[in-house]
Structure 1
Amino acid sequence: MAACSFRRTIASQLSKVLDLPPENLIKSISAVPVSKNRHVADFQLSIASVTEGSSSDCLAQDLNLQAQKLAERTVLQQVLKDGSEYGVKSELFSTVPRQKAVIEFSSPNIAKKFHIGHLRSTIVGNFIANLKVALGHEVIRINYLGDWGMQFGLLAVGFQRFGNKDKLKSSPLQHLFEVYVQINKAAEDENTKKLAKDFFRKLEEHDEQPLSLWKQFRDFSIEEYIRIYKRLGVHFDEYSGESFYQEKSQEVLKILEDKGLLQKTEKGTGIVDLSEKKDLSSFSTVMRSDGTSLYITRDLAAAIDRMNKHSWDTMIYVTDKSQSNHFQHLFQILKLMGYDWAERCQHVSFGLVQGMKTRRGEVIFLEDVLNEVRSRMLQNMASAKTTKEIEDPMETAEKVGLAALIVQDFRGLLSSDYQFSWDRALQSRGDTGVFLQYTHARLHSLEQMHGNEQLTDVNVACLQEPSAISVLQHLLRYDEVLYRSSQDLQPKHIVSYLLTLSHLAAVAHKTLPVKGSTPELAQARLRLFQAARSVLANGMKLLGITPVTQM
């Protein structure tokens, strides 16, 4: 909603009635929350501040009514004029500086489970990136792969014993995971451990043969990731990984040493003291005893490199809350190294998803979840009496299924754990992604049915019914919701807004027929439904949902 510009419009209109300058009125006009059951003016005027103590009830009622009517009349024109920019053009955002943001998200570990935690990181990171782009910021989306470390030594030894080149080509993630599970069972054996260490040391020394095998693992895996991300509607500007920073992490260790921040333990590991009293009550290990780097050392190198490369204003890491400690240490060390921009780094954490099982049992791969939600949705669509002949049922089921996953995930605070339920996620009525998609498709078919004509000179004043007023008032609130999400990066505000919009639109659809109404009324109602569908589509796209037009 463009609440601020609505205030200005209302003020200029009321100034004619009251014979007062508009600037005197703007501050007296405030937005009032709307609920499903209460029909009040979305904008009210603080009469006392305007009439200087005069207590004229009639004037108060009259002005409030005028404020309400003016706002409601303007909103439909505004929605359809601004299109996909409705809400983000609001004056609420006029003082927000445009920034460059680096967002690191998804970041699976090659050869380990691409599990449901990665789904959360992927969809949350994608939402934050979408929101920032919509608000005019420049965004760089980075997928920072876990593609280095001792596990690669173990994996290589496993592949030499249990690997199959054809399987590696056809389903790399599945095959590498199976190999990893097998070799982990044998990893207690001292000889296996030694071979793994030797392989990783050779990798760090850039030995050609181990490097070539590692590169195959990485390339095949990325190919498969890209295919899965395409199904999720997610893309990245950059695929980097820990491997990129193996050499640069040695430079980081050198800087730490030069600044007197690196201390050695008796065992020879390198640590950085993070305690205030410098009594080692809090420290971070940054180097193994053999001088090789660790996860945090590579993260330090990556942060510095990204600043050099992109000169970002803010950098956001999207991972589960178990890594909060790691990021706290990372930001602290960067500050100790003299990088003030560490204060502009942010960790957006999320809770765990419990109870995610497919019909075949525990979920191992994200793709199993996507296949499961698609097949369940296809089944539901086939058994629904309302389902029309759809051009591509598979693709529709995929989009609706993904909406179901995203909305169930985004309904609460990101930091909360939640219990996943297939039945709850896939309900077609109630507060679900399926209901959002159903509402969008229904409103779209209403537009199609009435020729999708470009409506001009619509008389909005004839929309007097409570169900129409509720939709209008709710549309007015959209920019406040976007603003709140842009402040705390929580998608739940937008989810809740869209679910309410869908419920209000459903009531209006039932009570305000277009067919059989007078041309003037039909046009106004059509414009109302058009505006509701437009805002619904905009909000869904921000969440990472592709709106469907039939289901």
Structure 2
Amino acid sequence: MACFFRRRIAAKLACTLQQSEDAFIPALSAVPVFKKQLTADFKLSIGTLRMSGIIPSCGDIQLQTESLATRLKRDSVVEDISAGRGVINFKVNRKLLVQKVLESFGKEEDDQFGLNSELLHTLKRGTTLVEYSSPNIAKKFHAGHLRSTIIGNFIANLKQCLGNNVIRMNYLGDWGMQFGLLGAGFGKFGCQEKLKQNPLQHLFEVYVQVNKDAEQNEEMMQAARDFFRQLEQHDSEALSLWQQFREITVDEYQRVYKRLGVHFDIYSGESFHQHQAQEVVQKLQSQGLLKTSEKGTGVVDLSTTKDMSSVSTVLRSDGTTLYITRDLAAAIDRKEKYHFDEMIYVTDKSQANHFHQLFHILLAMGHSWADRCEHVPFGLVRGMKTRRGEVVFLEDVLDEARARMLHNMNQSKTTKEMDNPEDTAEKVGISALIVQDFKGPRESDYTFDWDRMLQAQGDTGVFLQYTHARLHSLIQRHEGVGGVLFDPSLLLEQTSITVLQHLLRYDEVIYQSAKDLQPKHLVNFLLKLCHLIASAHRELPVKGSSRDVAQARLQLFSGTRSVLANGMKILGITPVDQM
């Protein structure tokens, strides 16, 4: 696989330039492939060598490229070396390329393809805490939380496959003034019977009513403030009602998470840190960081000149805590409990300033580990509508995706008979949602499009699933023909070489994803793989071929199916075997 060839090329360079092999690994990369176009397998960036001081940074870069290319000798592994514009191209022995890439498939460590690369060994390992999803208690799972949930799940999956100890945390919005409003509102508009029948719908209706009432009625606003103060003072009646709201909501959420194939190790929440939030306030005071504003609120001065031109409010004038105060307490508590090496918060980009302030205050308090905390922002989704109009709740989106997918499957002539078509439609519909979301830059807003999302052709989640199901069916039909033993010389057609060249890039794609936490690299790699497989499927038939040729081709298709399935699982997609 890629690491074998990269290491051999690095050894050649190390010998010629009298450097360590490891110095050349970052400068070597697999060449992206284009259909029907012959390309080299690896390229060496001369610019990277100049930046790292391995070759002089002055002088003509093209002359340096050509000079080094002529000094490098071909051998049984590297059969051609040529100079390009600022790069040296390496073509490896074709038979060896087939053998090395495909020999790992069919063994128990199928799912480890590309993950033992020396490129990935340069990444830091350790304990990663990922906080994602984080919806608000007593509200239905809003479609707006979908992005946090699936992006956070991707990051957790990615870190786990790289060997990190991953802690998946759902930090629920289960404290704050909205519970003052809800508690006071439930006393006036709530009904325990309705709460039992349709819990989240009833709480949603109460919340809408009380907000309307509070806009015109100062008494209701005061009742809300009083209820929240009772919560902060642990009044048993207020706490009992709050506990009921929390349990009902978590049960409902877990049902939605199960549909998405998402799980959490820990359900935490703001309420867990109310005591500690007061301790944080005291610590800020003792460190001389807490100031009192003209409005009587407690603030921390974030300005570089310490002139209060930029402040973060951490305490209301009535002494109750805010979201950021509880976030400070939560971060400190997590470091003490879980000893994380990095903590990642996945929320929309509108919260960038909140996290800037959070990390700034933690550092000011002397917590140097705040440098290893990261906010991963994402853009908004526009135009998310169902047939019934504007969508609010995620379950409506999942139901619609399943229904539309089931309809498309019923209309298709290629759909196979299956035991549970609804389950398949659900999995494929969710794949379509995830791929549409992940194709572009994570920070960008995008417009939701049902028709484009559910197309069987083109760059969609449906296309990924269709390709996987087709490969699974092909391998199953020829069970007993394939095997680990195959003749690499029977896979030298350009179609199969192009697929293998693309697989050489897998570790680089995982590496890039780990560096910037963007799912688009992996999605676009898998979509291109599917297009290359479609060509190979047409041009390299298994049926009607001699046993030896069939065996070799099945090894190619089995290997690509394995990489496709592993990549889909990292994205949070469950591969289906039939469609």
Fold match, TM over 0.5? Answer: yes
Quote the offset at 1:466 in angstroms: 2.0
Does structure 2 retain, via aligned residues, the 8 Å contact 1:319–1:348?
yes
Q: CA deviation at 1:64?
A: 5.5
Residue pair 1:401, 1:434 contacting (<8 A) in 2 also: yes
Query: What whole-Å deviation, never above 9, does each CA across 1:81-138 have from its counterpart, x for those lacking one?
Result: 4311111111112232321011100000113452222100000000000000000000
- Counterpart code for 1:4: C
Alignment of 1:475-490 (within 5 A): 475-490=503-518
Q: Is the 8 A contact 1:440 1:533 kept in 2?
A: yes
Instruction: Return the alpha-carbon distance in structure 2 between the equivalents of residues 294 and 377 of structure 1.
Output: 44
Aligned residue number for residue 416 of structure 2: 388
SS at match of 1:220: helix
Match of 1:116 in 2: 143
How far, CA to CA, are the matches of 2:352 and 2:367 in structure 1? 20
For the residues of structure 2 that align with 1:190 and 1:44, how far apart are their CA atoms? 70
| Shift of residue 78, structure 1, vs aligned partner | 2.7
Output the CA distance in 1 between the equivalents of 2:228 and 2:21: 70
Residue in 2 aligned with 1:299? 327
1:129 corresponds to 2:156: yes
Correspondence 1:550 to 2:578? yes
The percentage of counterpart residues that share the same residue type is 62
Query: Which range is displaced more, 32-41 or 277-286?
Result: 32-41
Q: 1:259 aligns with which of 271, 287, 295?
A: 287
Distance 1:170 1:234, change over 3 A: farther
**Is the counterpart of residue 337 in structure 1 residue 365 in structure 2?**
yes
Deviations 1:166-220 (A, max 9, x none): 3323432222111101111111201111111111111111010010000000001
Match of 1:491 among 498, 506, 519: 519
Q: How far apart are the structure 2 equivalents of 1:14 and 1:129?
A: 37
Cα deviation for residue 476 of structure 1 reads 1.3
1:102/1:139 contact within 8 Å kept = yes
In the TM superposition, what are the counterparts of 1:141-160 in structure 2 within 5 Å?
141-160=168-187
Does the 8 Å contact 1:110/1:173 carry over to 2?
A: no
Q: Residue in 2 aligned with 1:100?
A: 127
- Note if contact 2:79-2:93 (Cα within 8 Å) is conserved in structure 1: no
C-alpha displacement of 1:247: 1.1
Aligned to 2:452: 424
Q: How far 1:79 moved relative to its partner?
A: 4.0
Equivalent residue letter for 1:540: M
1:67-216 paired onto structure 2 within 5 Å? 67-81=93-107, 82-188=109-215, 189-216=217-244
Matched, 1:227 2:255: yes
Q: Please, which runs of 5 or more residues in structure 1 have no aligned partner?
A: none
- Residue 278 of structure 1 is matched in structure 2 by 306
For these two proteins, the number of residue pairs brought into alignment is 546
User: What TM-score, normalized by structure 1, do the two folds share?
Assistant: 0.94
Q: Does 1:531 align with 2:530?
A: no
Change (3 A) 1:235 1:460: same
Q: Which residue identity does 2:534 align to in structure 1?
A: A
Whether the 8 Å CA contact 1:296–1:330 is kept in 2: the answer is yes
* C-alpha contact 2:13 2:72 (8 A) present in aligned 1: no
Partner Cα separation in structure 2 for residue 345 and residue 99 of structure 1: 14
Matched residue, 1:245: 273
Residue identity matched to 2:385: K
Q: Which residues in structure 2 correspond to 1:386-535 (within 5 Å)? A: 386-451=414-479, 453=481, 455-535=483-563
Cα 1:24–1:433 shift into 2, 3 Å: closer
8 Å CA contact 1:105, 1:122 repeated in 2: yes
Opposite residue 221 of structure 1, the aligned amino acid is T
Structure 2 Cα separation of the partners of residues 340 and 101 of structure 1: 17
Do the aligned partners of 2:183 and 2:227 also contact (CA within 8 Å) in 1? yes
How far the C-alpha of 1:61 sits from its partner, in A, is: 6.8
Distance (whole Å) between structure 1 residues aligned to residue 349 and residue 305 of structure 2: 27
**Displacement of 1:164 after TM fit?**
2.5
- In 2: Cα distance, 1:265 partner to 1:527 partner: 70
Where 1:187 maps in the other structure, the secondary structure is helix
Deviation at 1:29, TM superposition (A): 7.3
TM-score (norm 2): 0.89
**2:340 counterpart SS class:** coil
- Aligned equivalents of 2:537, 2:528: Cα separation in 1: 14
Instruction: Quote how far apart the aligned CAs of 1:266 are.
Output: 2.5
Q: State yes or no: 1:353 paired with 2:381.
A: yes
Tell me the secondary structure at the aligned position of residue 433 of structure 2. helix
For residues 325 and 54 of structure 1, the distance between their equivalents in structure 2, rounded to whole angstroms, comes to 55
Structure 2 distance, partners of 1:425, 1:51, is 50
Cα separation, 2, equivalents of 1:395 and 1:329: 44
Alpha-carbon shift at residue 403 of structure 1 (Å): 0.3
